[in-house]
Structure 1
Amino acid sequence: MAISAESKDGGAAIAARPSGRPRSARADEAIIDAALDLLAEGVGVDALSIESVASRAGVGKATIYRRWPGKYELLMDCVRSMKMAQPEPRGENVRDDLISLLGVIGLNDDSRSEKVFPCLIPEVMKNPDLRVLYQQLIEPRRARIRTVLQRGVATGELRADLDIELTTLMLSGPVVMQRMLDWNPAIQRDGLAERVVDALLAGAAPR
């Protein structure tokens, strides 16, 4: 899916990255860092512009447009750059695999994330194009959780009538809300994945 974005000359929308000389990894990093810095400093998503990112990164607008069709695709790569790598489930038991997968949700080594994620969530909710991109970004994590749950049903660790999609949401939702938004300050983040998994498995185990 291509999202319309104003071209560098203010005219036609750019739908795809044109071919040309190889991309510079250093330029990519500078652009992403610039966007993250601006968001962390309080520049809202609406106010964030390709011009401001280019100025902060020390590159031309055309350099950004050669890499990303528009602002939203750049923002999703910014989010992707802060996400920790997803572990591969070991397949020994459902509980350990789910704890492993939930354990990295919302965790990263970038101190800017605690300021960036909260300002992105409202934009994801109100912007259909950005929401589609975000759904694509988190789908690999959901797919891994689904696989673990489906395997648990097949091995008898989980109920045969388990609603896989609802259970996936029930597992990831509390962790996302608590780690990214600190939804309930009374709940400690330490051991959160274990507590969520154990609470859910108490109802998902075979009767």
Structure 2
Amino acid sequence: MSLAESHAGQGRVPDGIPVRGRPRSEAVERSIVEGVMRLLDEGVPLSELSIERVARTAGVGKATIYRRWSGKEDLFLDVLRAAEPPEPALPGTSMRDDLVILLEAARQRGLLNRQSAILHNVFAQMKSSPRIWEAYHANVVAPRRRTLTDVLRRGRDNGELRADVDIDLAGDLLFGPMLVRTVMHPDASLPEDLAQSIVDTVLEGLHPAAK
């Protein structure tokens, strides 16, 4: 399944996906993001996705793109945000529930990566572009990590975790198994109950001792 097909339409960004910029420019920005998706679907390597080529494909001038994105890295980050499932809303009812939602989102991203050959290739190519890879980590991966840390810290403060738990280590224990299955072993099973199983297994060892 191609990147565009996975979003219900060749080269189309799904409705509701936010793109940066002034509200009155949303249609223009959407056409630019769709233009990048279209080029990726056609097999254009990431290294050849110049602003000039994107502008021609989207039917806009280069200045139109530069008014909205500072460069190729920022534009590509918004394309990836449009390609991936949106970040989940956390109910905050309990640490366990929030953790399950975060891990389920990671499972869904893993499934999408498997289903979309073009998205898989884009991530592989992105690793060869240090600037884009660093920007992706700073603007996408790091905020996800902060959200996880906030959930765990709140759980520790509420007594859902032992007071001596290392928050960073706990985050690695929780997300490690999901990353192994989605990244290191792309053929590994990703069952629907995987997020719940990982969270409950890890928390069993991190809960405060019963008094």
TM-score tier (shorter):
0.7 to 0.9
Alpha-carbon offset, residue 169 of structure 1: 3.4
Choose which of 162, 165, 170 in structure 2 pairs with 1:167. 170
Is the CA contact 1:32–1:78 (under 8 Å) kept in the aligned structure 2? Answer: yes
> Displacement of 1:173 after TM fit?
4.5
TM-score, reference length from structure 2:
0.72
Structure 1 residue 31, shift from structure 2 partner: 0.7
1:182 Cα shift?
7.5
AA aligned to 1:95 is R
Hey, what's the Cα distance between the residues in 2 that align with 1:92 and 1:172?
Answer: 20
Unaligned runs of 5+ in 2: 1-21
- Quick check: 123-132 or 102-111, which moved more? 102-111
Scaled by the length of structure 1, the TM-score of the pair is: 0.73
Q: Is the 8 A contact 1:159 1:204 kept in 2?
A: yes
Question: After superposition, what is the alpha-carbon deviation per residue over 1:102-146, rounded to whole angstroms, capped at 9, x for unaligned?
Answer: 222364789996522542355247504641443222333222221
> Who is 1:116 aligned against?
119
Distance in 2 separating the partners of 1:112 and 1:55: 29
Return closer, same or farther for 1:125/1:111 CA change in 2, 3 Å cut-off.
closer
Instruction: Give the equivalent residue in structure 2 for 1:98.
Output: 99
In the TM superposition, residue 149 of structure 1 has moved relative to its aligned partner by 0.7
Instruction: Name structure 1 gaps, 5 residues minimum.
Output: 1-20
Partner of 2:67: 66
Equivalent residues in 2 for 1:117-136, closer than 5 Å: 117-124=120-127, 127-128=130-131, 130-136=133-139
Find the aligned partners of 2:174 and 2:120 in 1 and give their Cα distance: 19
Per the alignment, residue 160 of structure 2 pairs with 157
Residues 20-39 of structure 1 deviation map (CA, whole Å, 9 limit, x = unaligned): x9862111001111112222
Instruction: Say if 1:51 and 1:126 are closer, same or farther in 2 by CA, change over 3 A.
Output: closer
Tell me, in whole angstroms, the C-alpha distance in 2 between the residues paired with 1:42 and 1:203.
Answer: 47
1:191-202 matches, cutoff 5 A: 191-202=193-204
Quickly say closer, same or farther: Cα 1:27–1:94, change in 2 above 3 A: same
Instruction: Report the equivalent of 1:85.
Output: 86
RMSD (CA atoms): 3.1
Match of 2:187 in 1: 185
Who is 1:206 aligned against?
Answer: 208
Distance 2:134 2:191 in 1: 27
